[in-house]
Structure 1
Amino acid sequence: MTVIPLGRARRSAVVGALSAGLFAGITGLVGCSSEDPDAGTNGMADLSAAKIHSQARAAADSVASVTVNADLVVKGQPYKIDMQLNSDGGTGKITDNGVSFRLLRVGDDVFMQADAALLKEGDKPAKPSKLSDKYVKVPEDDPKYKRLRAYTDKGDLLDMLLDLPGKLSKGDRSTVGSVRTIQLAAGNGDGGTIDVSLEGEPYPLRLVRAGGAGTLKLSDWGQSVTVEAPAKNEMVDFGEQLPKSTG
């Protein structure tokens, strides 16, 4: 077989074609190696801030239950909320400047389980033996009833948490635990931020309040929460109204 030598022009064309193919292959590999930050997400990051907020609220309203854990600063004092809420009530603990009490609501009935530092009879602390592990039913006409009920009402609590002051804008991508999120900033961040899940349902997962006023985490969306009224032997009766020092 006779080998026909390639002319200079033809050799240049072949080399050029091979180089172009090699370059295309390399750039293709480079393109594949760069990760899409929104790959596998629910698409919330592509929406406007207002749309993300409305869908986050819709997702929150679509399930009956949520767990709220908050470390706040209220009037310069530490305030902690740990509540499990469902559509019929809630249960958990409130800590106000180091003094804690358990809070329970079943329907319209609100109960407190407090220690002697919080509940007093007149000007004297109630006897610890009387209050040990006991619940007090909060009368509906007591001035504290409405405020205490708000801590156990999922809808009311979400209204307070998710209605941030100022115009909303999209912030950075972040994470809450291992879950990817997109942040919403109110008033360019001066009004606080909300982290909305980019995985699965767009639940709100974290709220950072403005001015260093604390952080709230929302978790266990839709998981079962059981609330039951305490038995009679688990309660103590203070009459028509709680002592003035309570709550």
Structure 2
Amino acid sequence: MTAIPQGRTRRGRAALATAICALAVTGSAVLTGCGDEDPDAGTNGVGKLPAGQIQAKTRAAAQGAPAVRLSGTVVTSGRTYQLDMRLKADGGTGSVTSKGATFKLLRVGKQLYLKADADFWNQADGKDGGDGAAEKLNGRYVKVPQGDPAYRKFSGFTDKDVLLDGLLTLHGTLATDGHHDDAGTRTIRITGDKGSGGSLDVSLEGTPYPLRLVRGGGAGALSFSDWGKDFAVAEPAKGETVDYGKQLPTS
């Protein structure tokens, strides 16, 4: 009998198994296991774990990653935010859209900046721009003081640990909900209370990073990518920044 090469790929083994099963059917033979390829073969193995252990491993992986990109929607306090953020330990950058207005956030260390156009500032401040403040702020990075309500409201969108800790939580009884695929990556899905408490797709390839989150109660859905991919955050040039001079609007 010819030996099967040790380096045969998983796909090759699967093709061989399919061919053997086809021959078995043709010859009216019965072979145990035909058509029952192990969905966890060649994976990182977390798909075989209980849901609680999968959640613990994916949270640990997320916390240990130096950087991540997240995009999607978050509903909080009755308001929907569309996020596209890149985050790491010492800062974050990206865009936020709410009520049709888009603004950019940049955090370098503890310093938070907000950048938006004149329409955003007019809408947020409830003014028609007659005082010229909106034009002064238009397209420039506004320094947000740490004691300002706007800092407390928006800095969390730029804080990797705070944001992920709050998001990667499923509510209710945890359970696994089968093997799935996220943009070509095999995943295992875990749910809270059969989905009403949210669902999370965890990568079965490489590090078990979370890839897609659907929050319970219709509180939004997010995709995670670029795990561990570094990016630069730097203070904007002085000519691009301005102090607001009073409490920033947060609405």
- Contact map agreement 2:46 2:204 (CA 8 A) in 1: yes
Mapped to 2, the partners of 1:139 and 1:116 lie a distance apart of: 20
Gaps of 5+ in 1: 1-21
Whose Rg is larger? Answer: 1
Q: Secondary structure at the match of 2:107?
A: strand
Q: Match for 1:131 among 125, 130, 137?
A: 137
Gaps of 5+ in 2: 1-23
Count of aligned pairs between the two proteins? 223
The yes-or-no answer on 1:223 pairing with 2:225 is no
C-alpha displacement at 1:226, in angstroms?
1.0
Who is 1:83 aligned against?
Answer: 85
Who is 1:116 aligned against?
Answer: 118
Mapped to 2, the partners of 1:104 and 1:197 lie a distance apart of: 29
RMSD between superposed Cα atoms in Å: 2.3
Query: How is 1:148-167 mapped onto 2 (pairs within 5 angstroms)?
Result: 148-167=154-173
Who is 1:239 aligned against?
Answer: 245
- Cα offsets for 1:204-243 (capped at 9, x unmatched): 111012233321001110001211111110012212532x
Q: Secondary structure at the match of 2:87?
A: strand
Mapped to 2, the partners of 1:195 and 1:41 lie a distance apart of: 14
Mapped to 1, the partners of 2:100 and 2:29 lie a distance apart of: 62
- Cα offsets for 1:51-103 (capped at 9, x unmatched): 11111011111111000101345566542000000110100000002100000
C-alpha displacement at 1:118, in angstroms?
2.3
Who is 2:5 aligned against?
Answer: none
Mapped to 2, the partners of 1:143 and 1:33 lie a distance apart of: 59
The yes-or-no answer on 1:174 pairing with 2:180 is yes
Q: Secondary structure at the match of 2:33?
A: helix
Q: Secondary structure at the match of 1:56?
A: helix
Mapped to 1, the partners of 2:58 and 2:28 lie a distance apart of: 42
Q: Amino acid of the residue matched to residue 206 of structure 2?
A: G
Mapped to 1, the partners of 2:155 and 2:78 lie a distance apart of: 23
Question: TM-score with structure 1 length normalisation?
Answer: 0.82
C-alpha displacement at 1:45, in angstroms?
1.1
Mapped to 2, the partners of 1:195 and 1:122 lie a distance apart of: 41
Q: Secondary structure at the match of 2:96?
A: strand
C-alpha displacement at 1:46, in angstroms?
0.9
